[in-house]
């Protein structure tokens, strides 16, 4: 028989297989995930979860898709958290400290509590990339925030009201447009697509059975 553990979803007790992730355990218990998680044909970061273990006071954050259930785990998912995205046209901006001061001035109210880093489901150094943004070092901010999936856990915990994911994505956009070297092979490939070079191959792909497409994907050659 499978090893089972007792967990609590929204205060209700369930016995689920110990090998499941929180996400699959919720489905095992009968919950339907409707928020469009990335692995459920939606966006990554939608399964942001808070939990604690019975007998322990520490409150932890995680992604339900990559965290296994534990005995005595009390679980609740975070409602969608609306981070504050400023409106801008990237072609009108220039990289540097001034753009952060104008669009996200609240980053200079950071009190250094590091709650954002502790809450990050990806174990990113969130406070550090905000510090890079404060100094106008957008390239380092972009590198440090590269694996952000925009779940918003950091912003939920921030006493200064900083929208960390939005600061990171602005840094990455500006770095990609103005700082990072041009990817000439990508430019060439876009031109080939516009010229119709891959139209026939794409039409052929669209006519293949889904199982054959999956096999092609699983056995594809991955560029190093």
Q: Which CATH number is 66's domain given?
A: 3.10.20.740
Q: Which residues constitute the domain of residue 196? A: 188-218
Q: Work out how many domains the chain is built from and give that number.
A: 3
130, 164 Cβ separation under 8 angstroms: yes
- Between 89 and 80, residue with greater pLDDT: 89
Average pLDDT over residues 39-52: 79
Q: How many Cβ atoms sit within 10 Å of the Cβ of residue 2? A: 8
Q: Which of 144, 122, 123 is nearest to 133 (CA)?
A: 144
Residue 170 lies in a domain: yes
Model confidence pLDDT, tens digit, residues 108-157: 999 999 999 999 988 999 999 999 999 999 999 999 999 998 888 899 88
pLDDT for the residue numbered 42: 65
72 and 142 belong to one structural domain: no
pLDDT for the residue numbered 117: 96
Residue 44 lies in a domain: yes
Cα dihedral 161, 165, 168, 174, rounded to 10, equals -110
174 and 128 belong to one structural domain: yes
173 and 99 belong to one structural domain: yes
DSSP 147: T
24, 31 Cβ separation under 8 angstroms: no
146 and 197 belong to one structural domain: no
pTM: 0.74
Report the percentage of the chain scoring pLDDT > 90: 67
Q: Look up residue 184 and give its two tokens.
A: 């000439």
Residue at which a domain ends, from 55, 77, 99? 77
Mean per-residue pLDDT of the chain: 90
Average pLDDT over residues 167-196: 93
Residue 82 lies in a domain: no
In a 10 Å sphere around its CB, with 0-12 CB exposed, 13-18 middle and 19+ buried, how is residue 133 labelled? buried
């Amino acid at each position: 028989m499978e090893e089972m553990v007792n967990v609590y979803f929204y205060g209700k007790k369930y016995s689920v297989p110990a090998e499941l992730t929180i996400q699959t355990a919720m489905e095992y218990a009968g919950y339907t995930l409707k928020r469009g998680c990335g692995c459920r044909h939606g966006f990554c970061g939608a399964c942001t979860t808070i939990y604690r273990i019975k007998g322990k006071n520490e409150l932890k954050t995680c992604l339900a898709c990559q965290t296994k259930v534990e005995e005595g785990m009390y679980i609740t998912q975070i409602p969608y958290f609306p981070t504050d995205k400023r409106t801008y046209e990237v072609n009108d901006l220039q990289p540097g400290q001034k753009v952060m001061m104008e669009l996200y001035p609240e980053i200079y109210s950071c009190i250094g509590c590091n709650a954002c880093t502790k809450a990050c489901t990806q174990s990113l150094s969130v406070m550090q990339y905000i510090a890079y943004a404060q100094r106008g070092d957008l390239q380092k901010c972009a590198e440090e925030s590269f694996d952000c999936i925009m779940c918003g856990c950091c912003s939920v915990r921030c006493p200064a009201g900083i929208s960390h994911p939005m600061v990171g994505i602005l840094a990455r956009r500006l770095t990609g447009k103005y700082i990072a070297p041009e990817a000439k092979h990508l430019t060439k490939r876009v031109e080939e697509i516009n010229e119709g070079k891959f139209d026939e191959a794409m039409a052929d792909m669209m006519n293949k059975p889904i199982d054959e497409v999956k096999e092609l994907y699983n056995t594809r050659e991955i560029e190093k």
